[in-house]
Amino acid sequence: MADSPLPRIAIVVPCYNEEQALPISSMEMLSLIDEMSASGLIAPDSYVLCSNDGSKDRTWEVIEELHSKDDRIKGICLAHNRGHQNALLAGLMAVMDNCDAAISIDADLQDDPSAMIEMVKKFRDGCEIVYGVRSSRETDTWFKRTTAHGFYSFQNAMGLETIYDHADYRLMSNRALHLLSEYGESNLFLRGIIPQIGLSCDVVRYARNPRVAGESKYPLSKMLSFSIDGITSFSARPMRWIFMTGLTLLIIDILVGIYVVIALLSGTAIGGWASIMLSVWFLGSLTLISIGIVGEYIGKIFTEVKHRPRFAVMKQLW
């Protein structure tokens, strides 16, 4: 692509209650656009689109103020809070026909914006999807580092194809965006969907920074919910594990039954309250867990068959 026209890049920023971070991060991204444009890497009309996910603070007002000062800051406002994945998808779909490639990044600038330069270079060399991958987790606490590694390992064990230490910081070509638009599921897990697109891809590694302002929108409870949604949206392996566990318990029950019959015939059977109670509690817990896992899948089916819109865009700034 070296001799082709300069690509127009759209930087998509999902926002939820980011009134403190946006004025800082938007200026950082505009400066980066200026730098890449001046070096002949991207087109001068590249821009930033902020996707407001029904924020409860002044996030949308901040986007309007930024747009009035520099129309390269554009925005869409969702009618309701639909979650990070829907806000991100809404932004990507909004820019799909107005860019050669889109780069998604969170407003807190924990993902290093300067990595975009290498992403664009790889895109111009022919890569259609470029993933931003953390080079290390040394700045994380032991607990966060351990749970994050467990998160990716568990997903891989469940058969979910994801990029290790990659969140939602990535570049996607226009063709990749159009292919993404054909995935119609309501239960969104973009980290699992995008690797399935199958276009040429590469990674760019970067060091993660502290938040520029505000608070994290992903506490442990949301991370657990996010992981469960990802697994149940892409893999039936948990239900297969339930079947295998049930089969194993059936074999154990047969062996225990043989032991009981032998004990009765030999006259050595002794009543065991503890063993009975442990068995009842164990099987009861296993039954409830199994019902819960099956319920997750039924809930996903219930949501999908209604075919409701994933989001509604209330306002736009272009």
Least confident of 211-215, 224-228, 269-273: 269-273
Query: Apex CA 213: angle with CA 204 and CA 27, to 5°?
Result: 65
Higher local confidence (pLDDT), 137 or 105 = 105
Phi, psi of 83 (to 5 degrees): 95, 160
Claim: this prediction has a pTM higher than 0.75: no
Task: Report residue 184 as tokens.
Answer: 């119609």
What is the full DSSP assignment across 136-205?
--TTS-HHHHHHHHHHHHHHHHTT----TTEEEEEEEEHHHHHHHHT---SS--HHHHHHHH---EEEEE
Q: What is the mean pLDDT of residues 92-112?
A: 94
Per the CB < 8 A criterion, the answer to whether 241 and 286 are in contact is no
Name, in order, each residue with C-beta under 8 angstroms of 184's C-beta and a sequence gap of 6 or more: none
Please provide the distance, in angstroms rounded to a whole number, between the alpha carbons at the two ends of the chain: 28
Judged by phi (left if over 0) then psi (alpha if -120 to 50, else beta), residue 109 lies in: left
Range with the largest mean pLDDT of 32-41, 140-149, 195-204: 32-41
Per the CB < 8 A criterion, the answer to whether 158 and 237 are in contact is yes
Query: What pLDDT does 115 receive?
Result: 94
Residue 88 pLDDT greater than 90, yes or no: yes
Higher local confidence (pLDDT), 143 or 28 = 28
Task: Report residue 196 as tokens.
Answer: 């399935």
The most distant pair of C-alpha atoms in the chain lies apart, rounded to whole Å, by: 92
Q: What are the pLDDT digits (tens) for 246-297?
A: 777 767 766 766 766 676 677 665 666 546 655 766 777 677 777 777 777 7
Q: What are the pLDDT digits (tens) for 3-17?
A: 568 999 999 999 999
**What's the CA gap between 139 and 134, in Å, rounded?**
11
Higher local confidence (pLDDT), 109 or 308 = 109
Per the CB < 8 A criterion, the answer to whether 299 and 187 are in contact is no
* CATH fold for domain 9-219+310-317: Spore Coat Polysaccharide Biosynthesis Protein SpsA; Chain A (3.90.550)
**What's the CA gap between 286 and 290, in Å, rounded?**
6
Confidence of residue 58 (pLDDT cuts 50, 70, 90): very high
Name, in order, each residue with C-beta under 8 angstroms of 25's C-beta and a sequence gap of 6 or more: 13, 18, 107, 108, 109, 113, 212
- Kindly compute the dihedral angle of the four CA atoms of residues 181, 185, 191, 197, in this order, to the nearest 10 degrees: -50
Query: What pLDDT does 2 receive?
Result: 46
Task: Report residue 133 as tokens.
Answer: 């991958």
Strand-pair partners of 41 = none
